[in-house]
Chain A
């Protein structure tokens, strides 16, 4: 029998609840990127960018965000363009919606891992509006497209007061809801290099139910033949929802590059992923369960990728 909880926690004098509608704001739809930069610099934290709005509006209703100015950037040049070049790879405008991204023939053919990650997000109608750019910029540890961006070595191209600069996805996430974007900067596109020849990838997401839940744990694994590696292969691992940011797992990657691959080594890599995870207890699951799931699902994804590589080879 658990002891009754009768501790008095000081509570606020009002009950903070989401409002029925959105709070008032100015909606601006500039057509020049520099105007966006100027607005961001002018309004600072009281300006928010709008692409799909699927996260922004929910947070505004909750009262977590109360911008005076909402800047719609999805109509800026290039923001909704997607292109693929066999030499350059895939360029995805930050405001390309997730359904368009997943349906693009180049994504289906060359980056199926990305399509898998996108398909795990919420629902089809939400993904008509949601964008991968927004998903990354929210800085949520649970962002489903982040592990894919990490293992595909994506580059985040941003526009800001000093023009364009590129931030590797691996350096993009700084903390919960914190990214490497500087004041006045905004994400304009993601660039995915041509993936390694003969690669295989898998994203596994665990939710409380199958219907598009936020991830309890998200695991991306990518592997490819690589003669320079002692094992003949290189792998990349990324995890969502088990640390303050989406993370890579260099320990597991090193392990599988350095020694001949055996079932035991795959298990060790899964353990290394578990060790790298520093999850919290929250409404979705306990830290203990999450760590175990990182291990088990990394192993499951790894087995799958390994089998694909064997079949290819």
Chain B
């Protein structure tokens, strides 16, 4: 079992760490960095609760090795709000009741953030498709979709 020295940015801050080869990015974020906003729901890339941005693109952190993020930029849910100011997306989720139990919410917000980054004016079908890798068992999705549409109108 090899160990690896990695340098990366996390939510804008430069960090370094020594990691074993088989620790996933998800476990590294939650257990080493204490960034528990990213959730563990299945460990197989199916539920999307662990979605984070890796170099600007969403990934399932459960299927990425911590050793692979050497030189990369990682954004988690904790990195969305700045200086106490919520992102329009976050506000839209509050306004539209886009969250119930809240466990899937961080992953969904990251997927939605990534969508608006690549497509600032998505259709309803675009939004549904971008979120199909994020399982939610509470809301029935429509309020989440409405929230993303609203945030897009507000300039994302």
Contacts and interface: CB of A to CB of B under 8 A. Distances in A.
B27 A128 contact: no
B54 interface: yes
A126 B64 CA distance: 10
B63 A124 contact: no
Interface string B50-65: 0100100111101111
A308 interface: no
Q: How large is the interface on A (under 10, 10 to 19, 20 to 34, 35 or more residues)?
A: 20 to 34
B13 interface: no
A20 B133 contact: no
Contact of B2 (A26, A119, A128): A26
Contact of A24 (B4, B22, B43, B130): B22
A58 B63 contact: yes
A124 B45 contact: no
A24 B1 contact: yes
A27 B63 contact: no
A125 B48 contact: yes
Contacts of A57: 24, 62-63
B132 A211 contact: yes
A21 interface: yes
A54 interface: yes
A175 interface: no
A125 B24 contact: no
Q: Which of A23, A129, A212 has the largest number of chain B CB atoms within 10 A?
A: A129
A99 interface: yes
Contacts of A28: 2
Nearest to B44: A58
A120 to B, nearest CB: 11
Size category of the B interface is 20 to 34
Interface string B28-68: 00000000000000011110100100100111101111011
A53 B65 contact: yes
A20 B64 CA distance: 15
A22 interface: yes
A61 interface: yes
A25 interface: yes
Contacts of A52: 63
Interface string B133-144: 110000000000
Contacts of B90: none
Interface of A: 18, 20-29, 52-54, 57-58, 61, 70, 72, 99, 119, 122-126, 128-129, 210-212
Interface of B: 1-2, 4, 20-24, 27, 43-46, 48, 51, 54, 57-60, 62-65, 67-68, 111, 114-115, 129-130, 132-134
7 contacts: A21-B24, A21-B43, A27-B21, A53-B63, A53-B65, A123-B133, A210-B132
